[in-house]
Structure 1
Amino acid sequence: MNLTVEQLFHKMLREMGPQGWWPADSKWEIILGAILVQNTNWQNVTQSLQRLDTLTGFDPEAVSALSIETLQEAIRPSGFYRNKSRAITDVFRWLERHAFDLAAIRQAYQTSLRSELLTLFGIGNETADVLLLYVFDYPVFIADNYARKFLTRLGVAHADTYQSVKDLIRLPQNFSVLDAQEFHGLIDVFGKQHLTNDRSWQASFLHGAKLQL
């Protein structure tokens, strides 16, 4: 069974249903979650987000005003709290310089926004793409660890690094931002369910499928 990217997306959506990603109530919460989830699991992130919600209500000005000591203590459950606190501070001060106006930031940077995000401390390729997709509404493909494992199972060669997958995968031109968000959510949920070992993959509805690029 050969599938294009678009056919793969629609098959997954039919089989699994909408995932409604990213799991957050505001874009400020998404920004925090995208930084906190680096090198940890979502359960740990949830604890940190609950603490930040109590402290700030996810108000961006309140987040920006947190002392480094208070911020580090709040996000300690997510691990690497010194680097992550510095990243949060750097990102929110950058946002503050733009009056926390996400639409204006998108308009000001346009196609150079990804490069600008990568200049911020603690923002690498994956986090930059998460912010582009979920915060700034660009329909980009997130080549995270689940995506790389997923594509390898679908017979895609050289899907072993973030950049190699970014070079290989092009979302269909008719993909909306919501489609791109759903695709990311579907792949990650599929990965948790079916990419843990050979047996789980063989039992999945995509076993035997090949991605046609």
Structure 2
Amino acid sequence: MDLTLHGLYQKLLNNMGPTHWWPADSKQQIIIEAILIQNTTERNAEHASQLIKEATGYDFKKISGLPAEILEKLIRPAGFMKNKSRAIRTVTQWYLDHNQNSQIIAKEYGEDLRSILLKMHGVGPETADVFLTYIFDRPQFIADKYARTLFAQLGIQGLSDYNSLAKLLSALPEPFTYQDAQEFHGLIDEFGKKYLRRKNFEHSFLAGDRLILPED
């Protein structure tokens, strides 16, 4: 069966139900966790996130005031503690400098926002797209590993790295809203954990389907 992009989203949603992803109490928490999750497991990132929560309540002013060795110790379970510490300091200070107002930031930078984010230490394409989707409420597509693996199973060729899919699909087309973009990311990752990580795609409800991406 041929599926449009929105058709794929609806089929995932109908078969799996909403994920309500990203599960967090604040945008500040999402910013921290989006950096912590880089190059580690979800479990390790959650452990470090909990330590930061206990120490600071995700208060960016408290985080920016932590001595370097303390912040690195909190981050340690997620690995790459020096690099991630610097990234967290950079992004949190930038967010503080903009009064932690995501709507004003989005309006100020407009279409340049992604390139601004990419200039920050520790913010690569995937993290930038997570920020656009979950912090700045844009219908961005997050071309993570599960998305690339799923799209390859659905017949999309040449997905060698993050940018290879991001070039094909960046902003999601209408009728996607930013809420749909958030849910789509969660659904793809949950599908990936169940069917792709265990190489069980042929037994999934998407087996035999083919994805048709929108043309530019």
TM superposition score normalised by structure 1: 0.96
Which deviates the most, 116-125 or 172-181?
172-181
User: Shift in Å at residue 149 of structure 1?
Assistant: 0.5
In structure 2, the residue matched to 1:191 is 192
Alpha-carbon distance in 2 for matches of 1:44, 1:11: 31
Q: Secondary structure at the match of 2:136?
A: coil
Partner of 1:181: 182
Within a 5 Å distance, the mapping from 1:194-205 to structure 2 comes to 194-198=195-199, 200-205=200-205
Distance across 1 between alignment mates of 2:101 and 2:4: 37
Contact kept, 8 Å, 1:64 with 1:96, in 2: the verdict is no
- Give me the CA root mean square deviation: 1.1
Aligned partner of 2:28 in structure 1 is 28
Residues 30 and 134 of structure 1 are in contact (CA less than 8 Å); yes or no, is this contact kept in structure 2? yes
Give the share of equivalent positions with the same residue, in percent. 48
Q: What do residues 34-82 of structure 1 show as CA deviations (whole Å, max 9, x unaligned)? A: 0000000111111111111111111121122222111001110000101
Corresponding letter in the other structure for 1:80: F
Structure 1 segments, 4+ long, off by >3 Å, are none
- Structure 1 residue 105 and structure 2 residue 116: aligned? no
How many residue pairs align between the two structures? 212
Shift of 1:171: 2.1
For residues 144-183 of structure 1, the aligned pairs below 5 Å read 144-169=144-169, 171-183=172-184
Deviations 1:122-170 (A, max 9, x none): 0000000000100110110000011110100001011222112112226
| Unmatched segments (≥5 aa) in structure 2 | none
- Cα distance in 2 for residues equivalent to 1:14 and 1:151: 18
Aligned positions of 1:200-211 closer than 5 A: 200-211=200-211
CA distance in structure 2 between the aligned counterparts of 1:96 and 1:69, rounded to whole angstroms: 21
**2:136 paired residue number:** 136
Q: How far off is 1:197 after superposition?
A: 4.3
8 Å contact 1:56–1:63 — kept in the other structure?
A: yes
Question: Normalising by structure 2, what TM-score?
Answer: 0.95
Q: Which runs of 5+ in 1 are unaligned?
A: none
